[in-house]
Chains A and B, each alone.
Chain A
């Protein structure tokens, strides 16, 4: 009987419908998550008091969310920038790793004049990320090699490079653990005096606004959009397709690299083998939730970051398994994507009723 239900695509989606479905999706996700938590033995009072209040209504919880959000915004922007021109950068983590390596290098060797150290660190980490995506970009443009496979596999190469450095040159001399020494204090991002929130959050927000202006208001943004929506038409109209793709993809690599730099200079202060974990997944998820809009990325990154904070709390205080936490995160994300579907399509039940 399912063939009596008709889905019709909406041509114009009003903003209030978009927000309403987003909120409904979030509510549905949270609702199901509550049921999972109840089933896992967490009492309802605890869910309300410890989890929701802790994470979303206390200064500490919010500060933690904001701190985590800085690199998440950057990887989200990175994913969105390349997706604009239909280049699927599935190697965000590889670029984050190289950004982190570059940042650690500058932070440890501390070359140059003191006040320039932090800007230099951020610049070099962005450059490292951009360089790491050069090869897939060139192969794609020159020989049409799939960037999906290349960027994904290069992530492993980047991670092996990190291990090579951490088990070799940068091994902690005292303990022998694969952890680099702490970087020079002058190369760290300033704390803002609210939890461990650092200047990287401001940097990420400013970059998001700049990208919004770039993509929404300038000629370059138009070229990128045209290439993404119909490359053949862009070529036939004489638009600079290759330069638009090159710029967007290098920008994507640089933003992920910068995320690595911000993680090292803002929160970790040293290189370890887990600091870039999960950033590919998070970045792509955030970019899709935001529909590749730079300002949307900020909102989506904050939401995802809040979800991670809540997940951390669950793991620590209720000793829930990692699997349960990931399950809850997945449920929330799927509900949000489902909500998007229902804002795109209208469900027509008239034929259903006609049959009955």
Chain B
């Protein structure tokens, strides 16, 4: 299946799922859901986290087998029991988490994943195919490059090429823009349009409203495992209406916080931090952060944001420069000492460095205060107090699905983030470093996170908001700076900043 397959049934239904239900361990995640995509269109599948978007597409591609329901391809009921069968029927999916071997080259990955199915016999053939297909669809990539040396956007191209080389005519992209910068996302969305124009059926799983309105022909909205709006043309739909369908109630607009800067709480001077590969992550960066303000740091991902966050919290060592927290130098201080000074962190990947998935909710909440509040005589744990405090936090922060004993991993993304926030935004908080605090969250969870950050800042805390989501930076910050190649290249009060201004700075210095 290497030949370019341009379907002749333009406009007909390519893939349809009817009355699909699926349960995991007794919990219903799809409840009589339906979905249909036509040839030659980009179809957005919209929904909050846990709405069932990925699950129904995993059913379509044979990753999951539905409990009940029918899958139709070109109007013919078809049983798809595995991803291989799906690919034989021309369905391919690019998953949110890439399935690539990092130490292999692009060509080796293609050979590994598509070899037998696409009739590729050796590496040369795979490399030629990558080059040919890449230039045909406009996704150029070096077949000899190792995946670990590629950026996230380039890895995504490899995944898309893999699916196309396998002969997919129905292409499903699972939250493809979640890992991309704004510019990269725009170019990807343009690519999906081109794919649809050549007759493919494209499914775009997303929870970003603007991607639906600007870049797709039709939209299906899912909520709580059900399809609440099916097959609706996107022309004439406005974002507020879609949001209402998605979460079932009107979205309250963000209130803007007025800046009331107090004394400086975090002062960074001439900070330089090395990258793991030896290059400079942060390169002579200086900033000053006062109580009552949110300093938003915008920038394309990979410009030293991670190193800055790691160095501020104490995980990475600075090779030069100083950091003052509440007037005390902390550049050589331990993580624990900095936390003692009220520094708190919301990491960009909550289950990698924020929470411990296999520990209970109560343990995750207590872990930063073990030495004080939760210790009794001789270092014995005050488990009763941990449980009581956890119960209180679950009620206050309205963490759905949580009990003190439940493992944190079983919480959905938004609720796990609530758990993390309820631990980090505590009474001792002085400076909050929030790195992409809403990555991968749905509208409601975003609102909650933003509200919690604004509340703590209104109460006097200082917040450094590092994010590549411009909308988030613009709506939340009281002051905005742009980070490029390890330094700040521009700074405005929030009311003077616009997306165009920031975008220009980000691009000119990138």
Contacts and interface: CB of A to CB of B under 8 A. Distances in A.
For A8, A217, A219, A233, the residue with the greatest tally of chain B CB atoms inside 10 Å of its CB is A233
B427 interface: no
Interface in A213-228: 217-223, 225-226
Interface in A290-320: none
B410 A237 contact: no
For A222, A226, A229, the residue with the greatest tally of chain B CB atoms inside 10 Å of its CB is A222
Given A219-B370, A219-B379, A351-B65, A229 B315 contact: no
A222 B363 contact: yes
Contacts of A351: 65, 81
Interface of chain B, helix or strand or loop or mixed?
Answer: mixed
B25 A10 contact: yes
A218 B380 contact: yes
Contacts of A109: none
B338 A238 contact: yes
For B313, B334, B336, B370, the residue with the greatest tally of chain A CB atoms inside 10 Å of its CB is B370
Contacts of B355: 230, 233
Nearest to B66: A351
A237 B381 contact: no
Contact of B315 (A220, A236, A350): A236
B336 A3 contact: no
B336 A240 contact: yes
B81 A218 contact: no
A194 B375 CA distance: 43
Nearest to A1: B81
Interface in A127-164: none
B368 A217 contact: no
B315 A235 contact: yes
Interface residues of A, number: 30
B242 to A, nearest CB: 34
A17 interface: no
A232 interface: yes
Contact of A232 (B352, B359, B367, B374): B352
Contact of A238 (B335, B347, B354): B335
Contacts of B347: 236
Interface residues on B, range: 35 or more
Contacts of B356: 226, 229-230, 233-234
Contact of B339 (A220, A222, A225, A238): A238
B357 interface: yes
Interface string B361-372: 001000110110
Contacts of A3: 81-82
Contacts of A222: 363, 367, 370, 381
A229 B358 contact: yes
A165 interface: no
B180 interface: no
B447 to A, nearest CB: 25
Nearest to A354: B65
B359 A226 contact: yes
Contacts of B24: 8
Contacts of B238: none
A10 B314 CA distance: 37
Nearest to B375: A219
A6 interface: yes
Contacts of B81: 3-4, 351
Contacts of A182: none
B345 interface: yes
A344 interface: no
Contact of A233 (B25, B65, B353, B410): B353
A229 B367 CA distance: 13
Interface string B397-411: 000000000010010
Contacts of A220: 379
B471 interface: no
B348 to A, nearest CB: 11
Contacts of A8: 24-25
Interface string B337-349: 1110000010100
Nearest to B81: A3
Nearest to B359: A229
Contacts of A233: 352-356
Nearest to B336: A238
Contacts of A4: 65, 81
Contacts of A6: 65
A11 interface: yes
A239 interface: yes
Contacts of B367: 222, 226, 234, 237, 239
B335 A218 contact: no
B288 interface: no
Given A8-B25, A219-B370, A223-B370, A236 B379 contact: no
Given A4-B81, A11-B410, A236 B358 contact: no
Contacts of A218: 378-381
Given A217-B381, A226-B356, A226-B359, A237 B335 contact: yes
8 contacts: A219-B380, A220-B379, A229-B358, A230-B352, A230-B358, A236-B354, A237-B367, A238-B368
Interface of B: 24-25, 65, 67, 81-82, 313-315, 334-339, 345, 347, 351-359, 363, 367-368, 370-371, 374-375, 378-381, 407, 410
Given A219-B374, A237-B335, 14 more contacts: A3-B81, A218-B380, A219-B380, A221-B381, A222-B370, A226-B367, A229-B359, A233-B353, A233-B355, A236-B347, A237-B367, A238-B337, A238-B338, A239-B367
